[in-house]
Structure formats: C-alpha cells, structure tokens
Amino acid sequence: MNKQIETFLKPDALAQWTAVGVPRPHESAQLHVLGEATYTDDIPELHGTLHAALGLSQKAHARVRSIDLDAVRRSRGVVAVFTASDIPGVNDCGPIIHDDPILADGLVQYVGQPMFLVVADTHDHARRAARLAKVDYEELPAILTPQDAKRAESWVLPPMHLARGDVRQAFEQAPHRIKGELYVGGQEQFYLEGQISYAIPKEDRGMLVYCSTQHPSEMQHVVAHALGLHSHNVTVECRRMGGGFGGKESQSALWAAAASVAAARLKCPVKLRADRDDDMMVTGKRHDFHYEYEIGHDGEGRILAAKVEMVLRSGYSADLSGPVATRAVCHFDNAYYLPAVDIVALCGKTHTQSNTAFRGFGGPQGAIAIEVVIDEIARNLGKDALDVRKLNFYGCDELEGRNLTQYGQKVSDNVLHELMAELEADSDYRKRRAEARAFNAASPVLKKGIAFTPVKFGIAFNLTHLNQAGALVHVYVDGSVLVNHGGTEMGQGVNTKVAQVVAHELGLDLSQVRIAATDTSKVANTSATAASTGADLNGKAAQDAARQIRERLAAFAAQTAQVDPSAVRFADNHVYVNSVPESFPSLVQRAYSARVQLWSDGFYATPGLHWDGDTMTGNPFFYFAYGAAVSEVIVDTLTGEWKLLRTDVLYDAGNSLNPAIDIGQVEGGFIQGMGWLTTEELWWDKAGKLMTHAPSTYKIPAVSDCPRDFRVKLFKNRNASDSIHRSKAVGEPPLLLAFSVFFAIRDAIASVGNYVVNPPLNAPATSEAILGAIDALRTSGSPATT
C-alpha cells in the first residue's frame, strides 16, 4: 500500500498539476488524419434521402416576367420543384432585417440569387436539372460598386457617424494635412467544406437538421419561421465544420431553410450540398471598402485630426453589414490615440452577393485605413513608420488623456509598448531595414521591403446581449465526462480548449473528457461562434458547470472523511483528501450511490459591457488582444511578382489555454490575412456576374506563399480581465498581423521612387497592382527614376 501511495502526486506536484496552459493536440486531430472525422456530408444517409439544388438568377437586377420550369420537372430523376410560393411560413433568412428571401419572388437582385429549388434522386441530377429553367427577365439598372452606391445614395441601412473632439479646430491648427482615397477588396471565405444541410422530418411536424453552421440557434429560428413552426419543433445539430471563417454564421440559413422546406413538403430526408461554384456565386464575402480620408498631423507625425468616410459593398441585403460597419468604426484607431475624429460608415446597397461575416468582422477593414495613413505620414516626413507608430500609440494608464478610444472605452490593459520593444529586438528590425535599403541601392530590378505593424483588437460582440453562453456537463459512474456547449467547432480548437477547462476543473486527463455535437435541444438560445469569443464564453460556461459538480463531490468526500472541503484536491485522475488519494471513478461511484447529482448546467454572461448604437459610444469590449509582426519581402519590379522572405510575430494570447493551438491559429490567421491583402481578388464583370468563382480563378495562398522563415511566439502576459484562466482570444486578431506584408510590399515599391513618393497601391496587392504602382512611380519623375 505504501508503495502505491508513493506513485501518487506529492504535495508540491499536486499544487502544480494543470490541464490548461499546456500544448495538447486538437481533439479531432487523429480523426482528421485518418479521414474518420464525420462532417455533415459523411453522415450515413437514411433510406429515401433525396438531393436538392438551387436554380440561380442570371441577371444582377431584374423583374421576373415569367419562369418556365417544365423542362426542369421533366429532367431525369427530378421529384419536385419548389418556388417561393411553396414555402409554408416566412420566405426570409435575414439575420437582423427581414430583407433576404430564401427564394426570390418576382425580383432578382444579383447574379446567383436562388429562384427555385430542385429535388431529385441524386445530387448530379438535381444540379443538371436546375440549369434547364427558362426565365424571362425585365432588366433593371444595377449598382455594382461601393462608389456607385454612394453616387446613387443607395443604402441597406442608415449612415453611421461617430465624432469626438473639435475636428474643425484640430484641422485648422494642424501644420500638415494629407488627403487620399483607398480601396480594399473583399475576400471569399473558401472553407474546405462547402455549405450543406441535411433535413430529416420527425414525428409531429418535427424537423432535425444537420447543418454546417457557426450558429445552430439562428438556423433553428430561420427553419422554424420558414416552416411556420415553433422553435421547439426544430433541432439543429453540428458536430464540426470543415472551416467557417464567418461564412457560416448567417449564410448557412439559406441552405438549412431550403432543405427543410423540401423535406417538410415531401415528408422525406433532403440534403442540399453546394458545389464550389454555386457556393461562391450564392454566398456573401468579406465586405470590400472604399475610403476617403483627411488627416491633420504635426511635424513629428503625431495625428491631431482624422476624418474618414468608409463605404461598404453590402450587397443586395443588410445581412450583418450593420455590425460589420460598427466594428470597422470602432477599429479605425487600431493601436493609436486619435484626439479628434469624424468617422462615417455607409452600407452601400449593390446588386451583388449580400456580404457577411468574415474573420475580423470589419475590424481589419477599419484598422488598415489608419495604417495607410501612418505609412504615408512617415514617408512624407522621411521617417521610419515604426517611429511614427510609436509616437501615436495609446499611452499607458498613467498618461492621462491618451488612453480613451474614440467610442469612449478606456484602454486599461495596453501592453503594446513592451510587446513592440521585445519584437523590435528579437527581429533585428532596425538592422534589417538598413540592410534592405543597402540591397535596394545596389539592385536595379529586385527590391526588398520591410514593415513593422501592430494590432489592438477588441474582444466581445458589439451587441451586448450576445455575450452569453451555456453548457452541460455530465459525469458518468465510470468517471468519464461528456460536455455539451453552445460553441461550434470549425477546426479552431474550441472543443479542445473547453475539454481542457473541464478536465482541469475536475482534475482529469484530457482523454477522460469528451465533447458532444452542438445541439439546440441540449443548450438553447446560443450565440454564434464568432467575434473570437468561442473559448471565452463557452469555456466559462463549461467551467461553471464543472465547478458545481466538483464542489458537490468535494463536499461529499469531505463529509465522509470528516474534514473541511478545503482539504479536498482534484488532480491527476484522483481526489486527494488531506493528500490521501482516491481514484476519481471510485469517488464518483460512491457519490452516485449516495444520490449526489453528477451533472450540471453552467452559464456565463460577460460582465461590464454596454453599447449605445445611436451615439456609437460605450464599453463594447471585455478586453483587447494585442500583437505585432515584422515582414520582409522581395519584389521583382519587372513583373510585379514577390516573395515573403521572413515574418516575425509576437502575439498576446494572455495565459494561453493551449499554446500549440494558439500558435497554429496565429499562423493560419496571418496567412489568411496575407491572402486577403495580396492574391485573393474578387472580380465582377460589367453585367454583375462574379467571375472569380472557383479555385481556377480565385487564388488563396498556397504552401509556397508562406514565408521561408516564419517565427511565431506568444507574448508572456496575464489577461487583466477575468477571462477563462486569464487567457485571450486568438481567432480573429492575428489576421491583422498580415498588414505587415502589405506595407512591406509598399516599402519595396517606394524604393523605386527613392522612398519619397507614396505608392498608389490598393488591396489586394496582386502582381498586376504592384506592377501598376511601380509604373506610376517610374512616370512620376521621382529622383530614383530620372
């Protein structure tokens, strides 16, 4: 017996035992590698399952005079064809404003808008039949760009306006002014698993929907409304997605609703799976932005006044454009104190896909504008942009007056000064910048560029009531644990982190905890897994549930041992009472026999949040995540081709729950952001048809585009806010670190003009755009080109 006890944890080790803050593999990693992970399309189909496809509009803006579906109905394998009139409930899938029909009814507003639904015996038969409709259109004028929307005063929502300080006086007193325009393109989510829903009718008008979605509760609401049912009739389940990136937050609703309508009408299971081309033609993207800005600054580069107008390409409906624009306004400052600002955001209505959420949710579009401004100020003054950035940083708490955002929230946890100093030293930035300039002076064709950019990103939903989560934790009599929470797994590792939190709370190995599929019949009224809050919200809710179980077990163990509950410790799959161990399953079995409750629900609501949408002021964020990146590129000035040579990243993940997953998220977010700003170009023709609707024409980054030298570290920092184990979010903020690549390219281009002319470069900085900017500098008469 004594030998056995010696193998248990000693008191010092017991105090240090942890299941969080340590690297652990993704909970489904082995399943992914073996091809055994079940996605929606992998679920075994029930007997009698039919397959659906959407019939899409071929016009950007038109009235439908008539539609002949006879050939569709006669096509091989077709069972039924449905139009808007066949929807038993509400023909709408808009998440906020009800302006987004499931199937167009008499009016089409973009090329690719669903008009009817074909149901057939196979997926291929349904798709082929959907192409056979004969539609008579009365074409109407189409608005295709943000600039066109502004000229036509075409909006999906009222304008947003935020102002602080006396902007007019600040401009009058500013020694220097700059004016400019900028265009930043959108981005396709390009999740590996496309949109898909599998609807199965159940008894008593019930409907079970397996859906690849970030927001099961929203899908439940939309399906219920479309079928004319109460929410309790509809169950939505999602075990995992093959990527989401925001594209499955609201826009999975169309697919869930359409499949459910067909299943309800035919009383048999129906699967609706989008082909990649159809997916890209139908669904919304990241919003592209057009900016007009005016900046006043002093001779050192300190910004004194800022005025910006942002026009979004919202598409034909509101979708999530309002929240996206709000977050863009709130992130225009990025890491900088702006004493006097005037910001206007306009959600332009265009006859294109209804744009939606995408990793960063407007934050990247807001922040990149001020970074362009900083870059231009520095070049105009002949200074290193890093020095101008530092000059404009939010101050530390003791620097009164320079730590209040334009929307009125205090920046009370600013670690950028220390973080930037550490990265500046580790990356040898100053030395490499000098080396790049020396290289350029001796190289007439190949030019190097380097840039150092920061990020400050607010964490929480701007809409306060969404910042809540629930969870269920079950402990079975064999000591194993099952967890159900409201978050959805899309590869980002939220299930792994939540499992770690529960394992830590109960003192168990991670292998003892299993996460069940997200299911609206288990945890109700969930928020979307979005805004980088998945682990923050659901981790806290699961921790709350597990803590209640642990406290019950501790009280029971203390009672039977006649000690105080404070003497009970849970660690290493055992329960220690005054350092005497008992296996966790043994205690659980005894507790069950004593009728101790072994399951619990948990709930969490983020404290201290408030937001006034009318004045655009408040405390919308729980905390800020910080980071910085240094990127070095080389550009071929004859072709516009470029390579990313090296990137150094330092990211503030707080007390990381899982450093391995967090570093992976930083790397992935960075590369995705780089794609947005460089290679991923969305292009519509003059008729409004998206021409980049497949990987043959839309170029996401490949392995060869990753930097040859990629150095990613997590900044040592404990979150000042009471987040889950004092960690910080890592989903969205790292995407903004890719700004460093865009500005490194600008730096390389600027060398052609002897660093005195600002390159006229918009995003994405494709090779064509780079070459165009180089040609513009060469024809500008700058010193290096004469």
Annotate 2-19 with DSSP letters as a single string: HHHHHTSPPHHHHHH--S
Name, in order, each residue with C-beta under 8 angstroms of 432's C-beta and a sequence gap of 6 or more. 450, 630, 632
Sorted by sequence, the CB contacts under 8 Å of residue 582 that are 6+ apart come out as 557, 574, 575, 576
Rounded to whole angstroms, the maximal C-alpha distance in the chain is 91
Tokens of 395: 């101050």
514 vs 489: CA distance, rounded Å: 13
Cα–Cα distance for residue pair 266/121, rounded to 1 Å: 13
Eight-state DSSP code of residue 246: T
CA distance 739 to 184: 12
Whether 371 sits among the annotated catalytic residues: the reply is no
Provide the sign of the torsion angle of the four alpha carbons 366, 368, 372, 374, taken in this order: positive
For residue 223, give the nearest of 185, 194, 262, 186 by alpha carbon: 262
Distance CA 424, CA 650 (A): 10
Q: Which of 188, 376, 732, 768 is catalytic?
A: 732
| H or E element, residue 51 | strand 50-56
Tokens read off for 272: 């609706």
What kind and span of H or E run contains 373?
A: helix 363-381
Rounded Cα gap, residues 162 and 695, in angstroms: 39
Burial class (CB in 10 A: 0-12, 13-18, 19+), 396: middle
Asked whether the beta carbons of 426 and 650 are under 8 A apart, the reply is yes
Q: Is 572:495 a contact under the CB 8 Å cutoff?
A: no
Q: For 27-154, where are the alpha helices, taking DSSP H only?
A: 29-34, 70-74, 123-130, 146-152
Pairwise CA distance, residues 110 & 283, whole Å: 11
Task: Judge residue 137's burial from the number of C-beta atoms within 10 Å of its C-beta, 0-12 exposed, 13-18 middle, 19 or more buried.
Answer: middle
**CA angle at 574 for the pair 475 and 493, rounded to the nearest 5°:** 55
Q: Could you give the 3-state DSSP secondary structure of residue 616?
A: coil
Q: 583 phi and psi, to 5 degrees?
A: -65, 145
Residue 135: what residue type? V
The two structure tokens encoding residue 540 = 């806290």
Q: Count how many residues are written for the chain.
A: 786
Tokens of 127: 């798709």
Whole-angstrom distance, CA of residue 516 vs CA of residue 601: 14
Specify whether the CB–CB gap between 162 and 406 falls below 8 A. yes
CA-to-CA distance for 115 and 694, rounded, in angstroms? 22
DSSP string covering 680-722, please? ----B-TTS-BS--STTTS----GGGS-SEEEEEE-----SS-
CA distance 605 to 518: 19
Active site residues: 732
